[in-house]
Structure 1
Amino acid sequence: MTTNNSTVLDPEEFILVGIPGLQPWYPWISMPFLIVYLVALVGNSLILLIIKIEQSLHEPMYFFLCMLAVVDLVLCTAALPKMLAIFWLGINTIIFECCFIQMTFIHCFTALETSVLVLMAYDRYVAICKPLYYSTILTGSLILKLVLLYLLRTVVLFVPQFTLASRLPYCSTVIPYCFCDYSTVLKLACGDTTVNSIYSLTAALLVIGVDVVFIFFSYAMILRAVLKLGSSQTRRKAMSTCVTHLYVILYFYIALLFSIIANRFSKSMPSDIHTLVASSYILIPPALNPLIYGLRTKEIRQGFLKLVKRGKISSEA
């Protein structure tokens, strides 16, 4: 059977090319990937452990930090093991169903990452701009409703498109990437995929656009409140924290938007550059977030020191 002069396949596997043009450098490229992955695993696991052990950290701010740590762990683990298998062992094939499962995890947890960043921005806004009403505004009931709302948004907007794409006929099985990306896989399908492309692009930009506006509005209000603080030292400390948070947020969104736009509209961009940038929004934020949101927070540092002391005490015993 042929469609549009292309042979329709019934693929059992896809072939992940990896990073086109950089195959001879895989042993060297894999090392920074591995280091970043290990930093993400250790850092986020420590955050979860510290917050679980320290009863004083059982507050909304640290609950959102736990959510971010879980999302980051899943996001980088969905892609990195397979990427390292390509770099080290040359295992370029991925089962058809596994490709779509990987794709679903990567894209859904990317959407959840941006959702958690919104919740954390809202938490900081309330804590700094309306501190007297913090406990009455951020109640357990409201937090649960917000979390469920963002989970529902992710499932409704993203899961159906992957299910529908898995039923399309495919004319090629070669993915010029090191993980399964929706728009890249969609290009391998036979026939007209305009509706799929428009739906996925609309869903992605709708989620990112709304979340970016809310995050930066929240931080604008926070910065305005910070500038009104009496102590210059307090202002510098708060500004340093906010600016650092914004750096990480900006990196995540710029890399994500770059990947989305480049994948759909740029035919002249080198594949290796595109692949590296797309990989960076999956790898870099999960490694940076524990450092920026965790170890820079006094309470987390104190919890870490307590954890270290307990380890020393137990080892001496």
Structure 2
Amino acid sequence: MENQSLHTNILLMEGLKVNAQSSIAAFILLLLMYGFIMVSNMGLVLLISRSKSLQQPMYLLFCNMSVNDVFGASIIIPRVLRDIFTSNSDLYIHYIDCVVQAFCVHLYGTTSHTVLMIMAFDRYVAICNPLRYATIMTNWMVVKLSVAAWGSALVQVAILLGLTIRLSRCRRVISNLFCDHASLFKLSCESVVINQVFGLGNTVVLLGSSICSVTLTYLKIAAVCIRSKNKVLNRKALQTCATHLAVYVLLLVSAFIVVILHRFPQLSYHRKVAAILGEVALPALNAVIYGLQIKEVRQRILAVLRSKQTLVHLK
């Protein structure tokens, strides 16, 4: 009985299945992307925290997204980098470690949506109620919204994984590059109807609430811009909303692709590729979109680069 328990506690993961010629290129590309994600996102956080002119609600909310992107990338990419040069028959993970990784993966994904929802609320207040923006979006309100975004995600994921870890296990293979909710409950031979229904319901509620809130927000913003004759206001609204909307659409498309591919076991390889692209591309693109497309942040980055060049010339 003890040997059987030990057997089911050590799980076998499926690798990326790249050949020897492609493994080095895949490793270098992933490593470079991970380095870019860490430097760009943490650099954005440090830049905002050190600059008083950027310590505004909008930019402080950006920090939530950057921290979450670093968190999400660090959960998966280092392990994938390690596993690229490991034989598929040797990709083992302890069940407890698998549960922790699944918890972090879903926390990252859920928080991505909740953070973008509170950022949409910030844009709504700034454009639709500009005279009341300073009184509504105080520092305390930013803290409360941030806690709500992370706290609600934490509760959702805790319930989701709590329903899964209660199941007994009769299989050992995780048919994915990393552990997630679906991979875990597929290890059981018991009825997983509750897990499937709750998992699908949780996804529908999360995506549905984010889609509805963001859509409603942008409809109200569009109505204000149409009624307004102020071209400066409309241009600023278009700039800030286009940035937020681009990030949201990318996240939404990535989420739908992974959810749909999970329903087709024969497309497991495509799901792995889509999942790793989502974990790499989205955090990198978020930093580029928010860091380079926003005027204030771009000016601050250029100012820092110019000061460094001046120091180099002086030396």
TM over 0.5: yes
Task: Give 1:4's aligned residue.
Answer: none
Letter in 1 for 2:84: F
Letter in 1 for 2:190: G
Q: Name the SS of the counterpart of 2:8 in structure 1.
A: coil
Matches within 5 A, 1:44-63: 44-63=41-60
Task: Give 1:137's aligned residue.
Answer: 136
Task: Give 1:172's aligned residue.
Answer: 171
Instruction: Tell me how far 1:185 sits from its aligned partner.
Output: 2.2
Give CA-to-partner distance per residue, 1:85-133, whole Å, 9 cap, x none. Answer: 1113446222221111111111012111111111111111111221111
1:45–1:144 distance in 2 versus 1, CA, 3 Å:
closer
Number of equivalent positions: 309
Quick check: 254-263 or 305-314, which moved more? 305-314
Distance 2:218 2:23 in 1: 40
Distance 1:231 1:150 in 2: 33
Structure with greater proportional helix content:
2
Matched, 1:245 2:240: no
TM-score normalised by length of structure 1: 0.87
Task: Give 2:301's aligned residue.
Answer: 304
Quick check: 76-85 or 191-200, which moved more? 191-200
Distance 1:107 1:159 in 2: 9
Matches within 5 A, 1:166-315: 166-230=165-229, 235=234, 238-239=237-238, 241-263=240-262, 265-268=263-266, 270-312=267-309
1:221–1:30 distance in 2 versus 1, CA, 3 Å:
farther
**Fraction of identical pairs, as percent:** 28
Instruction: Tell me how far 1:229 sits from its aligned partner.
Output: 4.8
Q: Name the SS of the counterpart of 1:15 in structure 2.
A: strand
Distance 1:218 1:297 in 2: 20
Distance 1:314 1:29 in 2: 37
Distance 1:233 1:156 in 2: 41
Distance 2:219 2:100 in 1: 38
Instruction: Tell me how far 1:288 sits from its aligned partner.
Output: 0.7
Task: Give 1:128's aligned residue.
Answer: 127
Instruction: Tell me how far 1:222 sits from its aligned partner.
Output: 2.3
Distance 1:241 1:311 in 2: 29
Distance 1:75 1:181 in 2: 13
Distance 1:97 1:312 in 2: 49
Distance 2:7 2:139 in 1: 49
Q: Name the SS of the counterpart of 2:11 in structure 1.
A: strand
Which has the bigger relative contact order, CA under 8 A and spacing at least 6? 1
Quick check: 27-36 or 288-297, which moved more? 27-36
* Cα contact 2:16–2:84 (8 A) shared by 1: no
Distance 1:223 1:286 in 2: 28
Unaligned residue ranges in structure 1 (runs of 5+) = 2-6
TM-score normalised by length of structure 2: 0.88
* Cα contact 2:37–2:70 (8 A) shared by 1: yes
Task: Give 1:161's aligned residue.
Answer: 160
* Cα contact 1:9–1:170 (8 A) shared by 2: no
Distance 1:201 1:93 in 2: 28
Instruction: Tell me how far 1:241 sits from its aligned partner.
Output: 4.8
Instruction: Tell me how far 1:304 sits from its aligned partner.
Output: 1.3
Give CA-to-partner distance per residue, 1:135-167, whole Å, 9 cap, x none. Answer: 111123333332222333222221133244234
Letter in 2 for 1:156: V
1:212–1:281 distance in 2 versus 1, CA, 3 Å:
farther
Distance 1:166 1:314 in 2: 56
Give CA-to-partner distance per residue, 1:211-245, whole Å, 9 cap, x none. Answer: 12111221232233334454667745643553343
1:131–1:106 distance in 2 versus 1, CA, 3 Å:
same
1:225–1:32 distance in 2 versus 1, CA, 3 Å:
farther
